[in-house]
Amino acid sequence: MTSPTPNEPAGAPEGVPVGAPVGAIARRLGAAGLSTAAIIIPLTTVVSHSFARSTYPLLLPAIKDDLLSSNTQAGIGGTAIFFAYLLGVLSVTLASSSLEPVKILRIGLAVSASGLGLIAIAPNVVVLILGLVLASSGGAGIWITAPLLATEGVAPNRRGIVIGFLTGAVGLGTSTIALSTRIARNAADDPELWRPIYLVEVVATVVILIIVVFGVRPHNTSPTGGRRLTLEGLRSVPGWKPITAAYVVFGAIASGYTSFLAEALEKDGGLDRATVANIYIGLGISSLVGAPLMGWVSDRAGRRRALMIVMTVIGVLSTSIALASGPGLAVVVVLFGGMWASYPTLTATYMRDHLDAHSFGSVYGTITVFYAIASVPAPIVVGAIADWRGSFTISYLSVTALAITGLVALRQLPRHEPDPVGAAV
């Protein structure tokens, strides 16, 4: 099968007969400007972020009662997640020169499944952290390759909304986990239940892996050879310094904000555990809507403008999170979630616009290394400050300061964006 041109959507997966049901589905997706990968790949980001990262802060109060002794120790778990993500990004960026992205994706799913399994059976904090490390490092393999695979054959003016669905799927996954947690705890009459949630995630990850193995057949994502962890490719992106600086700032915002959200809502916000689970459901729904919405906005208003809008709203709402309490806090957190979830989408889309299919993985991996480095210390710092001050107020006010710094960096992006690289290379 020949490769599609930049303006031609991908058709049926390679090796699928024209008359086969999968081929028919792929042709219909192609007519809509999408590919089978654009539909399947968002499922994988549920594993990389909803399972490997969002579940831990949601269940942290119960995990803390079972295995942990302080916020500082809980912060070590959060730091382990982001440190493992950094190691995973480094590994994936180097592996992208010799392995096809779809193979890296499959490996990431398998590693994440093993880590989630360890968390579910962890008898002590050491095994818990090892499971968090495996789940998060596998998640790096998923997230670095997902935007490329999902946008293969997709026209440039539709990339924002397609990549938005990657993060939107994370929101759907987070909502589902929160709802399932509430139902399971009510059924078991046990507000401390958390291990069965991880066991269900293991099963779901294995199912998604099987779907990817049999359903994703990319055309133009072969490895290029050579070591590719370098600034050379990143420097080729217009405005690489401000987009990198802003992503570094967002790395600290994301890890510091998410790691203790449930704990902060209970301890500082005065909310009970069931209400916090409901807020997570709303948080996931807002992510499901916010990420594709802002991707769509960026397709029409430009990436720079959309990035600045998101960073501004993050700064305003983070101040409200630090100072609000009671029912009003739920509204603020839900709105924050929609904006927060869309930022990685917009960054990935900005990078994809200026990179071809062969260089995207390594260059996006390089910028994500900087993001991951900034995200590593934030959870343990937030936990230590909370133990010291007895609340999370100072920590969440610092998010506002970080957002202002990120906004200053984003203002330096080129105002006139060049034409994006074609959908297929």
User: If you count them, how many residues does the chain have?
Assistant: 425
- Report pLDDT for 17: 38
pLDDT above 90 for 195: yes
Q: Would 11 be classed as within a structural domain?
A: no
Q: Would 333 be classed as within a structural domain?
A: yes
- Give the burial string for 22-55 (b: 16+ CB within 10 Å, else e): bbebbeebbeebbbbbbbbbbbbbbbbbbbbbbb
Task: Categorize the per-residue pLDDT at 29 as very low, low, confident or very high, splitting at 50, 70 and 90.
Answer: very low
- Tell me the backbone φ, ψ of residue 123, rounded to 5 degrees: -90, -15
Q: Give the tokens for residue 92.
A: 């994936």
CB 16 within 8 A of CB 22: yes
Domain count, the chain: 1
Pick from 9-13, 245-249, 291-295: least confident? 9-13
CB 244 within 8 A of CB 231: no
Among 15, 157, 178, 80, which residue's Cα sits nearest to residue 383?
A: 80
Can you tell me the distance from the alpha carbon of 392 to that of 319, in angstroms, rounded to the nearest whole number?
12
pLDDT above 60 for 95: yes
pLDDT digits (tens, 9 = 90+) for 257-309: 777 788 788 877 778 878 888 888 888 788 778 878 888 888 888 899 999 99
Q: Give the tokens for residue 388.
A: 């010291």
Q: Would 146 be classed as within a structural domain?
A: yes
Helix (H), strand (E) counts: the chain: 17, 0
pLDDT above 50 for 10: no
- Report pLDDT for 36: 61
Can you tell me the distance from the alpha carbon of 238 to that of 253, in angstroms, rounded to the nearest whole number?
24
Q: For residue 190, what are the contacts with CB-CB under 8 A and spacing of at least 6?
A: none
Residue 218 has, within 13 A of its CA and on its CB side, a CA count of 30
- Report pLDDT for 166: 75
What is the domain range of residue 50? 35-216+229-410
pLDDT digits (tens, 9 = 90+) for 220-236: 555 544 445 568 888 88
Q: Give the tokens for residue 345.
A: 């989408």
- Report pLDDT for 276: 83
Q: Would 418 be classed as within a structural domain?
A: no
Q: Would 199 be classed as within a structural domain?
A: yes
CB 96 within 8 A of CB 223: yes
Q: Would 189 be classed as within a structural domain?
A: yes
Q: Give the tokens for residue 15.
A: 């090796």
Q: Would 62 be classed as within a structural domain?
A: yes
Q: Would 224 be classed as within a structural domain?
A: no
- Give the burial string for 104-114 (b: 16+ CB within 10 Å, else e): bbbbbbebbbe
- The domain that holds 133 is classified in CATH as 1.20.1250.20
pLDDT above 60 for 33: no
As a whole number, the mean pLDDT across the chain is 80
Q: Give the tokens for residue 342.
A: 């869309």
pLDDT digits (tens, 9 = 90+) for 346-387: 998 898 888 876 777 778 878 888 888 888 888 888 888 888
